[in-house]
Amino acid sequence: MLHHPAHLGYALIVCLMIFIAFPCTARAQTRAANHFLGVLSPYSGRLTLGDRLATHGFISQGFLWSSGNNYLAQSKKGSFEFTEVGLSIAADLGGGFTAGIQFFSRDLGPTGGYTPQVDWAYLGYKWRDWLGIRLGRVKIPFGLYNEMSDIDAARVPILLPQSIYQIENRQFLLAQTGAEISGIIPLARAGELEYSAYAGTLYTDISSTPNINSLHVPYLAGGRLLWRTPLKGFTFGSSALAGELESNATLSQKQIDTFAASGVLFPSGFDGKIENTVSAVFVAASAEYVRGGLLVAAEYSRRYIENTSSVPATIPKAKTTNEKAYLMASYEFLEWFTGGIYYSIDFKDIDLRSHFDKTQHDLAATLRFNVGAHFVLKIEGHYLNGTAVLSPALNDNRPNSESKKNWALLLTKATVTF
């Protein structure tokens, strides 16, 4: 049963999660460990060196099942290819300096493959509370939740509203390499402003992308402004991001023949090489209300994308505008139980709103169970109308216009943090 390496991996993850989540609580063991390790003071399960260095981590194992269409993995027959592991080390270097690094590995259907990667790594300096700078690979502040889009324990839903926080876009929108300034500006009776502005580039792994020879991001820049109002619990925000992506690809002879057979006229002497440039501007408006165990959030986003290519016959010049929005609410009924619900809409092209393959309506409900301080279990159901988020590669290369219009998705996930 466990002969396949993937099965062995799942079994190991489950064992580790049980191992962490149901620990023996003997005080004698704690004292013995403290005595043995001397400088370590892990009162709440964190590995700390003095008060200045801390190590944290998480492991998540999920399960996906869907009706009608495969989503993220071969989900129609049920898939455990939904695993995330993270390990972070952060240090307070004193004098306002901080440093940190997080390693991350995941398996999500055909992506990830457990390849460890650096999620973020930075050196930071906070001069005043209203001005700090971080250099390195830093998570991108966009909308309310982009920075926590892969931190399952920090939120109620398993999948954040996919219109704005699309899980497959992780490698493009999660973190940038460059500089960021941020701070909190008190506004006396008007509340406070939290701002961040950044500029840099993206380094993306293209090793698993066939045909792509190179991928270059000349720039990525943006910022976010959050206004924490004097009305307790109300936050309003706006975000913007602009960037350019240049790619260089080579079509195989088979692909050239397929295009030619479908009537595409290539320029004379065409050797299969295509240069493509994508310019994008993303904007978002956000609102959140948190009071006690209640959270209500709503966001609206537009994405303006312009595509130009050296061979318009294969990738035509195009300008498209995406429109995305969601409304989400959750309530903590008991300390160990929270329920949540959201409705999310995604129009991949505002000029084609009536096309179901360019549209995604998503109604989701989540139950979150906190089994102890460091172990979270979730179950989530989605009813989806539209096929815009589907990958043809996971659906027998069928165009999305031929996929099932109405479908359902069920997810479960267990996460351990330490």
Partner 1 sequence: MLRFALGILPLFAWHIMAVPQKTVASENAVQVIVHPDLNADDISIDDLRNIFLRRKTLWPNGVQISPMAQHPNSPARHYFDKHIFNRSPMALRAYWNQQIFSGRQLPPPERLNDKEVIDFVSATPGAIGYILMITDPGTTHVVLTFK
SS3 109: coil
Nearer to partner 1, 35 or 254 (CB): 35
Considering only 4, 335, 354, 396, the residue that binds partner 1 (CB under 8 A) is 335
Site for partner 1 in 109-148 (CB under 8 A): 114, 116, 119-120, 122, 126, 128-129, 138-139, 147-148
Distance between CA atoms of 131 and 225, rounded to whole angstroms? 14
Distance between CA atoms of 15 and 21, rounded to whole angstroms? 10
Nearer to partner 1, 3 or 27 (CB): 27
DSSP character string of 30-62: HHHHHHHHTTB--TTS-EEETTTEEEEEEEEEE
Considering only 96, 218, 312, 316, the residue that binds partner 1 (CB under 8 A) is 96
363 scored as a contact of partner 1 (CB under 8 A): no
Instruction: Write the single-letter amino acid at 417.
Output: T
Nearer to partner 1, 48 or 211 (CB): 48
The minimum distance between CB 315 and partner 1, in angstroms, equals: 35
Site for partner 1 in 155-184 (CB under 8 A): 155, 184
358 scored as a contact of partner 1 (CB under 8 A): no
The minimum distance between CB 370 and partner 1, in angstroms, equals: 5
The minimum distance between CB 20 and partner 1, in angstroms, equals: 5
Site for partner 1 in 23-42 (CB under 8 A): 23-27, 29-30, 32-33, 37, 40-42
Region from 82-90, 246-254, 301-309, 378-386 binding partner 1, contact rule CB under 8 A: 82-90
353 scored as a contact of partner 1 (CB under 8 A): no
- 344 burial type by CB count under 10 A (0-12 exposed, 13-18 middle, 19+ buried): buried
**CB environment 112-131: b (16+ within 10 A), e (fewer):** beeeeeebbbbebebeeeee
Considering only 338, 344, 395, 400, the residue that binds partner 1 (CB under 8 A) is 338
Distance between CA atoms of 418 and 416, rounded to whole angstroms? 7
CA nearest 101: which of 51, 169, 48, 54?
Answer: 54
The minimum distance between CB 92 and partner 1, in angstroms, equals: 7
Region from 149-157, 309-317, 351-359, 389-397 binding partner 1, contact rule CB under 8 A: 149-157
**CA-to-CA dists, residue 296 to 156, 273, 293, 356, 360, angstroms:** 12, 49, 10, 28, 22
58 scored as a contact of partner 1 (CB under 8 A): yes
329 scored as a contact of partner 1 (CB under 8 A): no
**CA-to-CA dists, residue 366 to 66, 127, 162, 341, angstroms:** 16, 41, 14, 6
8 scored as a contact of partner 1 (CB under 8 A): yes
Q: Is residue 87 a contact partner of residue 106, using CB atoms and an 8 Å limit?
A: no
Half-sphere exposure of 1 (CA within 13 A, CB side): 2
The minimum distance between CB 380 and partner 1, in angstroms, equals: 16
Considering only 68, 74, 76, 90, the residue that binds partner 1 (CB under 8 A) is 90
Site for partner 1 in 257-296 (CB under 8 A): 290-293
Tokens standing for 320?
Answer: 């498209």
